[in-house]
Structure 1
Amino acid sequence: MVFDTGLTRSNLDCFLHCTTPTVKSQFLPKSEITSLNRLWHPSDTENVEYFTLSDLWNCYDEWSAYGAGVPIVLNNYETLVQYYVPYLSAVQIFTGNSPVNSLREETESGDGESDSSCDDSESDKLWRWDGGSSEDGGSEQDSVWHVNNRLGYLYFQYFETSTPYARVPLVDKINGLCGRFPGLMSLRSVDLSPASWMAVAWYPIYHIPMGRTVKDLSTCFLTYHTLSSSFQDMEPEEDGVEGAGGKRKEGDGISVPPFGLATYKMQGDVWLSGDFGRDREKVVSLSSVADSWLKQLRVQHHDFNYFTGIRRG
């Protein structure tokens, strides 16, 4: 069995590549560009590309049903395809609009779901962009400014806490939530603040051909993705397409690669032996970035704590 990606990418890079969604894109009407939040979209540009959250979830539709196939080259140069199913692990969506209850929260345990909300003053204290408490310098008006202009208002958040066996695939989970939170479908990446993010848990289901017993094939991954258009210009260019002077066209698609990563049950070296040792450094670096992101937003992410061995009392 021969793969066109297996020989040019390490196993880790293959996983990151095969599980990165490329979302159908659109260009914002020029009449709407001037109304963008300049703190979130500081650059002046004639074309602003965006995607809708509904199109993002569509990228996970087939993966949720059949798994995402990841080509893997084993140490004996045998090749196989390991399939991973995505599950929504966490998401926080910040917008520029203030709902009646600025903090809307979804949490789930193995026994069911619960909703909670708090008033604007509590939201200001919990979600300041600079990560400090509301008493750390400045007035109450300064605190409100930090939330409204830089972080935005927390429209929705969800943190999965149930066991993997009690979870449903990502698309099924989103479909179950969007009835109460329609913004999960209608919001656009240009509507979201830079603090908006999601984490996807990838659990292995099977590999083809069957019959191999490899410890690392039970490895689970946790990928972190930003949801705001604010970071689109920061994405690395692949294969020199942009550098060659070609202009992107509407519908080309926006790649949403992970900015952070955590792993669980990585017992061998299948994922770390490639790319001349740089994969090990990459895992450490991506995990550190994920940890820093969570600390900056002052949130406890259950899956990250579990994957990295952090135990909370």
Structure 2
Amino acid sequence: MAAISLRRHSNLQCFLDSTTPSVMSHSLLKTSIRDLNNLWEPTGQSVVEYFNLADLWSLYHEWSAYGAGVPILFPGGETVLQYYVPYLSAIQIYTTKPLAELRAVGEDSESDSLSDDSEIERMSRSWDATSEDSAFDQDHSLLMNRLGSLYFHYVERCPPWGRIPLMDKVTTLSQSFPGLMSFKSTDLSPASWMSIAWYPIYHIPARRNAKDLSSSFLTFHTISSSFQENLTLGSDENICCSPVKNFGKRSKDTSNSISLPPFGLATYKMHGNLWINSDTGDHAKITNLYSSANSWLKQLRVHHHDFNFFITHAM
């Protein structure tokens, strides 16, 4: 039985499961209406599940202070609990409401909000200097028109040793951009996303040769309600942590929560013999997640410093 469990175990899946946030969900009754010659007529009601951004960030409070514990199983059967500290690597928040409307209700002021036009123009100028594909530029212009209003854009450029943990960073940024704490996931357009950089800090019990545990990860997550039902961590729920059941693994089997599994992934110094298990489909998983992240960044024309570093220094 032990051999079967080891063969079906995936340390990569363990990492993804152990670092996936599961946010308290709320229900919103939404009424659909249609316009009949300027006479608004209700057509039906539906329940929409959403989460508060403040609740999402609170999940990273303990991880930011002590690290997220990930059980790593070695080929000989030894298990080590490796801790990773999360850093905010990048984030874009597009709202479903015009920024002018948000300002009208006191959400923003002129001094503490990004202009969606000026930010999009700045991003486009930086990419126009490196791209001469006019067809791609036209497609991008059409895409940008569907994204919504860009409320906030941030990309971390400091080296890992110069960063502050995610919760501290978000708290600091929210002083100028209060929507980081006040928005609901239903306020955000499907283009809203974030990426988290995970760096190892310590492991229990200590190992003399910790080279295999020096891997770092970059995960990409949607933070809009629109995509939640289409994202899953994998089809085999028994792959992760099967030999070490419930050892350092947060339970996500709650009906009143919304899980935010990564839609994209990049790795740094990930040694395949420890992390990748061909019996569990890890090769296809990591290829698909990398391709999704790469495609997402290209469509939004985002210069992602950490992603570029990870893919050029993978080993």
Q: Same fold (TM over 0.5)?
A: yes
Q: Alignment partner of 1:299: what SS?
A: coil
Deviation at 1:253, TM superposition (A): 0.3
Which residue type is aligned with residue 56 of structure 2? L
Structure 2 CA distance for partners of 1:196 and 1:212, relative to 1, 3 Å = same
Structure 2 CA distance for partners of 1:34 and 1:209, relative to 1, 3 Å = farther
C-alpha separation in 2, matches of 1:251 and 1:305 = 37
* Equivalent residue number for residue 309 of structure 1: 312
Q: Alignment partner of 1:177: what SS?
A: helix
8 Å Cα contact 2:266/2:311 also seen in 1: yes
Structure 2 CA distance for partners of 1:73 and 1:259, relative to 1, 3 Å = same
Structure 2 CA distance for partners of 1:294 and 1:62, relative to 1, 3 Å = same
The range that moved more, 255-264 or 285-294, is 285-294
Describe how 1:124-163 pairs up with structure 2 within 5 A.
126=123, 147=144, 150-163=146-159
Structure 2 CA distance for partners of 1:81 and 1:122, relative to 1, 3 Å = closer
* Equivalent residue number for residue 214 of structure 2: 218
Tell me if 1:69 matches 2:75.
Answer: no
How many residues of Structure 1 are paired with residues of Structure 2 in the alignment?
270
Describe how 1:1-313 pairs up with structure 2 within 5 A.
9-31=9-31, 46-99=46-99, 120=117, 123=120, 126=123, 147=144, 150-236=146-232, 252-272=256-276, 274=277, 276=279, 278-309=281-312
Q: Alignment partner of 2:261: what SS?
A: coil
Q: Alignment partner of 2:312: what SS?
A: coil
Which residue type is aligned with residue 264 of structure 1? Y
C-alpha separation in 1, matches of 2:54 and 2:134 = 34
Which residue type is aligned with residue 230 of structure 2? M
Q: Alignment partner of 1:48: what SS?
A: strand
Q: Cα deviations across residues 107-154 of structure 1 (Å, max 9, x unaligned)? A: xxxxxxxx9955737737957xxx98699669xxx96x8545x20011
C-alpha separation in 2, matches of 1:52 and 1:60 = 14
Q: Alignment partner of 2:87: what SS?
A: strand
C-alpha separation in 2, matches of 1:187 and 1:236 = 24
Q: Cα deviations across residues 223-265 of structure 1 (Å, max 9, x unaligned)? A: 0000111112213398999xxxxxxxx9710000000000011
Q: Which is bigger in relative contact order (C-alpha 8 A, separation at least 6)? A: 2
8 Å Cα contact 2:85/2:165 also seen in 1: yes
Which residue type is aligned with residue 98 of structure 1? P
C-alpha separation in 1, matches of 2:136 and 2:76 = 59
Aligned-residue Cα RMSD (Å) equals: 3.6
Q: Alignment partner of 1:72: what SS?
A: strand
C-alpha separation in 2, matches of 1:276 and 1:175 = 42
C-alpha separation in 2, matches of 1:187 and 1:6 = 43
Deviation at 1:177, TM superposition (A): 0.7
C-alpha separation in 2, matches of 1:101 and 1:122 = 18
The range that moved more, 174-183 or 71-80, is 71-80
Unpaired runs of at least 5, structure 1: 36-43, 103-114, 242-249
Which residue type is aligned with residue 293 of structure 1? W
Structure 2 CA distance for partners of 1:169 and 1:125, relative to 1, 3 Å = closer
Structure 2 CA distance for partners of 1:7 and 1:46, relative to 1, 3 Å = farther
> Percent same amino acid among aligned pairs?
54
Which residue type is aligned with residue 202 of structure 2? Y
8 Å Cα contact 2:220/2:265 also seen in 1: yes
Unpaired runs of at least 5, structure 2: 35-43, 103-111, 125-130, 238-253
Structure 2 CA distance for partners of 1:237 and 1:62, relative to 1, 3 Å = closer
* Equivalent residue number for residue 107 of structure 1: none
